[in-house]
Amino acid sequence: MSGSKSARKIAEASAVDPAVTPPIPLTITRPALLVDGSDQRFRELIGNLMTMSNQLQELRAGLARRLGVSEPEYRVFLAVAQLQGATGIRVSGVAQHLQVTGALVTMIANRLVRLGWIEKASNPADSRQVLLRLTASGIGIMARFQKAPQLVNDELFRDIDAIEFGRFADLVQRIVAGGARALAAAAGQSTQDTSFLPDPKEAP
C-alpha cells in the first residue's frame, strides 16, 4: 500500500468519534413498515416468520414419521385425500396445489401406489388422463390418522379467532405473492456484482 493511501486511511479512522454509535443499516425502505425510521419491528417479523416456517416443517415432518413415510410422501398423500373428490385428481392438480413439478408428484405417487395407499385410474371424461385417488386401505389410514394433524393444527392456531384467521390468511397469501416477486427481482440482480465489497488491493 502506498504511503499516501495509508496516511489517508489513518486520518479517516482517527476522525471517527468512538462515542458516536454508527447508524444501523436499514433492510427495508418502505415508510409504512418503518417505526420512527427504524426497521427493528420489520426484522423481528422476518425472524418470527422464519421461526414459524421451521416449526411448520418440523411439525409436518413429525406427522410424516408417525405414518412411516417421508414428508413429501405425506404431503402428496394428504393432497390426494383432500382433492380427489368422487373420481380422483390429476397429477397436475396435485402439483399445482403443492406448487411443485408434475414429475415430482408422479415419482412420489408411484411410491404411494406401491404402498397400496393410492391408485391410478382412467379419467371418465378423458381416458388418456390418469387420476389419483385413495385406495380402500388409504382411506382407512387417513380416517384413523386424521386426529393427529387436527390436534397439531388446533394447538398451533389456538389463539387466533375467526376474524384474525381471515385477515392472517389474506396477509400470508399476499406475502407469498410478494415472495415470488422478490425471487424474480433477486434473480435479475447480477450474482457477480461485488462493487459493494472493499477492494482487496486497498486492504491494509
The total number of structural domains in the chain stands at 1
Q: Is residue 118 part of a domain?
A: yes
Q: Which three cell numbers stand for residue 189?
A: 440482480
Distance CA 114, CA 72 (A): 15
Amino acid identity at 147:
K
Does residue 49 fall inside a structural domain? no
Q: What residue numbers bound the domain in which 118 lies?
A: 61-145
> What are 112-131's pLDDT values in tens digits?
999 999 999 887 777 678 89
79: CB partners within 8 A, 6+ apart: 89, 94, 97, 98
Instruction: Please write the tens of the pLDDT for every residue from 43-98.
Output: 999 999 999 999 999 999 999 999 999 999 999 999 999 999 888 999 999 999 99
**Burial zone of 76 (CB within 10 Å; 0-12 exposed, 13-18 middle, 19+ buried):** buried
Residues 6+ apart with CB under 8 A from 95: 101, 102, 104, 105
Which value, in Å, is the radius of gyration of the alpha carbons in the chain? 26
Grid cell at residue 5: 493511501
pTM exceeds 0.85 for this model: no
CATH number at residue 67: 1.10.10.10
User: Does residue 179 fall inside a structural domain?
Assistant: no
Whether pLDDT at 137 is above 80: yes
**For range 173-193, the mean pLDDT:** 86
CA dihedral 169, 173, 174, 179 (to 10 degrees): 140
Reply yes or no on whether the pLDDT at 172 is more than 90. yes
